[in-house]
Amino acid sequence: MSRIINRWYIGLIFIPVIITYSTNYFKLPDILANWKDSLIATLTIIISILVYELYRLNKKHLLLKLEPNKRDQKVIKKLLNYLDLDSFQEDIYKQDAWYGYKDEAIYKTTKFYDKVRLIKNKISDPKLNVLLNSFTNELKSFHEYSSMRLSGDRGYLKPFKDTVKQKENAKQQTAKMNKMTKSCFEKLDELIKYLIENKYL
Protein backbone atom coordinates (compact mmCIF):
# COMPACT_ATOMS: atom_id res chain seq x y z
CA MET A 1 0.00 0.00 0.00
CA SER A 2 2.79 2.40 0.91
CA ARG A 3 4.47 1.79 -2.46
CA ILE A 4 1.29 2.78 -4.27
CA ILE A 5 0.91 5.91 -2.15
CA ASN A 6 4.55 6.83 -2.74
CA ARG A 7 3.88 6.70 -6.47
CA TRP A 8 0.72 8.79 -6.41
CA TYR A 9 2.02 10.79 -9.36
CA ILE A 10 1.35 7.84 -11.71
CA GLY A 11 -2.32 8.79 -11.42
CA LEU A 12 -1.51 11.95 -13.39
CA ILE A 13 -1.68 9.80 -16.52
CA PHE A 14 -5.45 9.64 -16.23
CA ILE A 15 -6.00 13.37 -15.74
CA PRO A 16 -6.14 14.27 -19.48
CA VAL A 17 -8.52 11.36 -20.11
CA ILE A 18 -10.77 12.39 -17.24
CA ILE A 19 -10.74 16.00 -18.38
CA THR A 20 -11.54 15.04 -21.97
CA TYR A 21 -14.35 12.78 -20.83
CA SER A 22 -15.68 15.59 -18.66
CA THR A 23 -16.12 17.82 -21.70
CA ASN A 24 -19.33 15.93 -22.35
CA TYR A 25 -20.75 17.67 -19.31
CA PHE A 26 -18.69 20.85 -18.92
CA LYS A 27 -17.42 23.48 -21.30
CA LEU A 28 -13.60 23.33 -21.25
CA PRO A 29 -10.86 24.86 -23.43
CA ASP A 30 -10.46 23.24 -26.85
CA ILE A 31 -7.03 21.79 -26.03
CA LEU A 32 -8.59 19.74 -23.24
CA ALA A 33 -11.68 18.82 -25.21
CA ASN A 34 -9.71 17.43 -28.14
CA TRP A 35 -8.78 13.73 -27.87
CA LYS A 36 -5.63 14.22 -29.94
CA ASP A 37 -4.35 16.96 -27.67
CA SER A 38 -5.36 14.88 -24.69
CA LEU A 39 -3.29 11.95 -25.97
CA ILE A 40 -0.24 14.19 -26.42
CA ALA A 41 -0.68 15.50 -22.89
CA THR A 42 -0.98 11.94 -21.57
CA LEU A 43 2.20 10.83 -23.36
CA THR A 44 4.03 13.88 -22.04
CA ILE A 45 3.02 12.98 -18.49
CA ILE A 46 4.02 9.33 -19.01
CA ILE A 47 7.46 10.33 -20.31
CA SER A 48 7.91 12.71 -17.38
CA ILE A 49 7.03 9.93 -14.94
CA LEU A 50 9.43 7.50 -16.64
CA VAL A 51 12.25 10.05 -16.47
CA TYR A 52 11.51 10.63 -12.78
CA GLU A 53 11.44 6.88 -12.07
CA LEU A 54 14.76 6.40 -13.85
CA TYR A 55 16.22 9.19 -11.76
CA ARG A 56 14.95 7.53 -8.56
CA LEU A 57 16.34 4.13 -9.58
CA ASN A 58 19.70 5.60 -10.54
CA LYS A 59 19.93 7.46 -7.24
CA LYS A 60 19.05 4.29 -5.33
CA HIS A 61 21.64 2.33 -7.31
CA LEU A 62 24.34 4.89 -6.53
CA LEU A 63 23.51 4.75 -2.83
CA LEU A 64 23.73 0.96 -2.87
CA LYS A 65 27.11 1.14 -4.58
CA LEU A 66 28.39 3.47 -1.88
CA GLU A 67 27.40 1.04 0.85
CA PRO A 68 29.78 -1.91 1.30
CA ASN A 69 28.52 -5.45 1.06
CA LYS A 70 27.67 -6.51 4.63
CA ARG A 71 29.22 -9.94 4.21
CA ASP A 72 32.43 -8.49 2.74
CA GLN A 73 32.56 -6.01 5.59
CA LYS A 74 32.27 -8.78 8.17
CA VAL A 75 34.90 -10.93 6.44
CA ILE A 76 37.46 -8.15 6.06
CA LYS A 77 37.13 -7.10 9.70
CA LYS A 78 37.65 -10.68 10.82
CA LEU A 79 40.73 -11.03 8.60
CA LEU A 80 42.26 -7.83 9.93
CA ASN A 81 41.69 -9.06 13.46
CA TYR A 82 43.80 -12.11 12.63
CA LEU A 83 46.53 -9.87 11.25
CA ASP A 84 46.45 -7.33 14.11
CA LEU A 85 47.31 -4.02 12.45
CA ASP A 86 49.12 -2.58 15.46
CA SER A 87 51.27 -5.67 15.83
CA PHE A 88 52.12 -5.70 12.14
CA GLN A 89 53.14 -2.05 12.16
CA GLU A 90 55.17 -2.16 15.37
CA ASP A 91 56.59 -5.69 15.39
CA ILE A 92 57.07 -6.35 11.67
CA TYR A 93 57.26 -3.11 9.67
CA LYS A 94 59.13 -0.97 12.23
CA GLN A 95 61.23 -3.85 13.52
CA ASP A 96 64.74 -4.20 12.11
CA ALA A 97 65.09 -7.76 10.84
CA TRP A 98 68.65 -7.84 12.21
CA TYR A 99 67.19 -8.17 15.71
CA GLY A 100 64.53 -10.64 14.65
CA TYR A 101 60.75 -10.67 14.91
CA LYS A 102 58.43 -11.72 17.69
CA ASP A 103 57.11 -15.25 17.24
CA GLU A 104 53.58 -14.06 17.93
CA ALA A 105 53.73 -11.29 15.32
CA ILE A 106 54.92 -13.69 12.62
CA TYR A 107 52.29 -16.22 13.68
CA LYS A 108 49.55 -13.60 13.23
CA THR A 109 50.68 -12.80 9.69
CA THR A 110 50.78 -16.51 8.87
CA LYS A 111 47.30 -17.06 10.27
CA PHE A 112 46.00 -14.07 8.32
CA TYR A 113 47.49 -15.43 5.10
CA ASP A 114 45.97 -18.87 5.69
CA LYS A 115 42.53 -17.40 6.42
CA VAL A 116 42.55 -15.18 3.31
CA ARG A 117 43.01 -18.25 1.13
CA LEU A 118 39.86 -19.96 2.44
CA ILE A 119 36.90 -20.02 0.04
CA LYS A 120 34.50 -18.86 2.74
CA ASN A 121 36.53 -15.66 3.11
CA LYS A 122 36.41 -14.65 -0.55
CA ILE A 123 35.46 -11.02 -1.18
CA SER A 124 32.95 -9.93 -3.84
CA ASP A 125 34.32 -6.39 -4.27
CA PRO A 126 36.72 -6.61 -7.29
CA LYS A 127 38.86 -3.60 -6.32
CA LEU A 128 39.13 -4.81 -2.74
CA ASN A 129 40.15 -8.24 -4.01
CA VAL A 130 42.96 -6.70 -6.05
CA LEU A 131 44.28 -4.74 -3.07
CA LEU A 132 43.94 -7.70 -0.73
CA ASN A 133 45.74 -10.03 -3.14
CA SER A 134 48.46 -7.46 -3.69
CA PHE A 135 49.15 -7.32 0.04
CA THR A 136 48.95 -11.08 0.61
CA ASN A 137 51.30 -11.74 -2.32
CA GLU A 138 53.89 -9.44 -0.77
CA LEU A 139 53.34 -11.14 2.57
CA LYS A 140 53.77 -14.55 0.98
CA SER A 141 57.11 -13.50 -0.53
CA PHE A 142 58.28 -12.29 2.86
CA HIS A 143 57.21 -15.54 4.54
CA GLU A 144 58.95 -17.69 1.96
CA TYR A 145 62.17 -15.71 2.15
CA SER A 146 62.35 -15.19 5.92
CA SER A 147 61.33 -18.74 6.87
CA MET A 148 64.62 -20.06 5.44
CA ARG A 149 66.75 -17.41 7.15
CA LEU A 150 65.31 -17.09 10.64
CA SER A 151 65.32 -19.47 13.59
CA GLY A 152 63.52 -19.52 16.93
CA ASP A 153 65.24 -17.96 19.92
CA ARG A 154 63.34 -17.27 23.17
CA GLY A 155 60.13 -15.93 21.67
CA TYR A 156 61.80 -14.39 18.63
CA LEU A 157 62.68 -15.48 15.12
CA LYS A 158 66.21 -14.24 14.52
CA PRO A 159 68.71 -14.43 11.65
CA PHE A 160 71.62 -16.86 11.87
CA LYS A 161 74.60 -14.97 13.33
CA ASP A 162 76.68 -17.65 15.06
CA THR A 163 79.70 -17.36 12.77
CA VAL A 164 81.44 -14.51 10.96
CA LYS A 165 80.18 -15.80 7.62
CA GLN A 166 76.61 -16.07 8.91
CA LYS A 167 76.79 -12.50 10.18
CA GLU A 168 77.96 -11.28 6.79
CA ASN A 169 75.13 -13.14 5.10
CA ALA A 170 72.66 -11.87 7.70
CA LYS A 171 73.49 -8.25 6.83
CA GLN A 172 72.34 -8.75 3.25
CA GLN A 173 69.43 -10.98 4.18
CA THR A 174 68.02 -8.71 6.86
CA ALA A 175 68.39 -5.67 4.59
CA LYS A 176 66.26 -7.49 2.03
CA MET A 177 63.72 -8.50 4.68
CA ASN A 178 63.43 -4.88 5.78
CA LYS A 179 62.66 -3.88 2.19
CA MET A 180 60.09 -6.65 1.94
CA THR A 181 58.28 -5.63 5.13
CA LYS A 182 58.29 -2.02 3.92
CA SER A 183 56.69 -3.14 0.66
CA CYS A 184 54.14 -5.19 2.63
CA PHE A 185 53.25 -2.19 4.75
CA GLU A 186 52.82 0.05 1.71
CA LYS A 187 50.39 -2.46 0.21
CA LEU A 188 48.59 -2.74 3.52
CA ASP A 189 48.35 1.04 3.74
CA GLU A 190 46.67 1.16 0.31
CA LEU A 191 44.25 -1.53 1.42
CA ILE A 192 43.33 0.26 4.65
CA LYS A 193 42.80 3.57 2.83
CA TYR A 194 40.39 1.88 0.43
CA LEU A 195 38.53 0.22 3.31
CA ILE A 196 38.12 3.53 5.12
CA GLU A 197 37.10 5.48 2.01
CA ASN A 198 34.49 2.86 1.15
CA LYS A 199 33.13 2.52 4.70
CA TYR A 200 34.33 -1.02 5.37
CA LEU A 201 35.98 0.24 8.54
The pLDDT profile of the chain, 201 residues, written as one tens digit per residue, is: 445 445 555 555 555 555 555 555 555 555 555 556 666 666 777 777 777 777 676 655 554 455 889 999 999 999 999 999 999 999 999 999 999 999 999 999 999 999 999 988 899 999 999 999 999 999 999 999 999 999 999 999 999 999 999 999 999 999 999 999 999 999 999 999 999 999 999
Q: Give this prediction's pTM.
A: 0.69
CA-to-CA distance for 201 and 89, rounded, in angstroms? 18
CA-to-CA distance for 150 and 142, rounded, in angstroms? 12
Cβ neighbour number for residue 109 with a 10 Å cutoff: 25
Query: Packing angle between helix 126-146 and helix 70-83, nearest 10 degrees?
Result: 20
Phi and psi for 163 in degrees, rounded to 5? -120, 170
Cβ neighbour number for residue 161 with a 10 Å cutoff: 15
- Alpha-carbon distance values, 138 to 54, 84, 124, 151 (Å): 44, 17, 21, 21
CA-to-CA distance for 53 and 50, rounded, in angstroms? 5
